[in-house]
Amino acid sequence: MLPHYSPLKVAESFSVLSGLFPGRVDLALGRAPGTDPLTMFALQRDRREPSPDDFPQQLTELLGHLYDSLPRDHPFAHLGRALPGLPERPEVWLLGSSPQSAIWAGELGLPYAFADFINPDGAEIAALYRERFVPSERLAAPRVLVGAAAICAPSDEEAERLAASGRMTFSLLRQGRLIPVPPVEKAQRFVERYGEPRGRRAVLGSPDTVRRGLAALAEAYGAEEVMVVTIVYDHAARRRSYELIAEAFGLGAAGHGAGPATVARSAS
């Protein structure tokens, strides 16, 4: 979440990681604060006034540091040449859930990761990204990853039951109430009383159901990769969900799958 950080600090940190682990580090950059306005303000170093909305300038400066592409007369132009991990660099992705992020990713020639779990109407936005894509030294052709909320369990009914915890969490988040993910029984009572949150999509069910759902999602976005996040109360259920999804796509230790897109497991 780049608004919380100095572009040079991010460049230095991910340069170190890239030097330590060549070819293995992605740097995914988002404009959103990732939290509620009060927490965002608390994260600021200078609290005399809210931080400016200058993400395009931050992003341009960060890429300038990583690729030594700042104008020669820029006061920071020399700093990128001293990054500690050179010549290794992270692979830079742009995160997004809106048309504006698609435009930036396309014009800058960056791979694009779209948050379907935030905005389930993103297939047209992914198409906009491809339309606006300009090849760059970083990427010759457009590349899309779709981020999906998914819960996999032995049966469709069990996955639906586990999903109640996330539904309660997001319902209250929209009211500005941050809570720990609640136990299933408590969440079920809440959902039965207040209904489910609108505007979000999750792929839920047994391994076969989830495989079909994620494959359809990848096809709709034309995505080469799918990243899944599972929000449930019980850690063992979360871990089992990831295992079942991996098994459904034939993912082994080497990370090679048999599906139409690579499915990346997220432990978030």
Question: Which tens digit of pLDDT belongs to each residue from 33-72?
Answer: 777 777 778 887 787 887 788 999 999 999 999 999 999 9
Which of 93, 113, 130 is the last residue in one of the domains?
A: 93
Residues 164 and 259 in one domain: yes
Q: How far, in Å, CA of 94 to CA of 133, rounded?
A: 13
pLDDT for residue 254 is more than 60: no
pLDDT the model gives residue 237 = 97
d(CA 245, CA 256): 13
Query: Is residue 162 domain-shared with residue 257, that is, in the same domain?
Result: yes
Query: Tell me, what's the pLDDT at 263?
Result: 61
Q: Which two tokens stand for residue 87?
A: 């010549």
Number of domains within the chain: 2
Nearest to 227 by CA among 236, 219, 235, 218: 218
Same domain, 89 and 153: no
Same domain, yes or no: 175 and 248: yes
Q: Which of 45-49, 160-164, 250-254 has the lowest mean pLDDT?
A: 250-254
- pLDDT score at 17: 98
130 within domain boundaries: no
What is the domain extent for residue 5? 1-93
